[in-house]
């Protein structure tokens, strides 16, 4: 079970690498409040995935993720 998102946390609370990435992704792609937010969040997640794949040198997979954004 994941922790709820918080705007502030104590600086002495250590997070695992997975928790750190999870919080970063949650901030970047945003919450789902309405149904239209769900589609925007999906688009943001795919754009983030494509950028990460390009940074990792997996340009062919990044192109596939980028194509899914338009679908």
Express each pLDDT in 30-65 by its tens digit: 888 888 888 888 888 888 888 988 998 988 888 888
Grade residue 8 by pLDDT with cuts at 50, 70 and 90.
low
Q: Where are the domains of the chain?
A: 34-71
Distance between CA 30 and CA 41 in Å, rounded?
A: 6
- Report the pLDDT averaged over residues 1-29: 76
Cα angle value 25/20/26 (rounded, 5°): 20
């Amino acid at each position: 079970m994941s922790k709820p998102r918080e705007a502030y946390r104590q600086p002495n609370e250590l997070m695992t690498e997975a928790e750190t990435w999870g919080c970063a992704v949650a901030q970047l792609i945003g919450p789902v409040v309405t149904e239209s937010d769900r589609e925007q969040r999906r688009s943001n997640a795919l754009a983030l995935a494509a950028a990460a794949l390009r940074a990792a040198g997996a340009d062919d997979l990044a192109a596939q993720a980028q194509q899914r954004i338009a679908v």
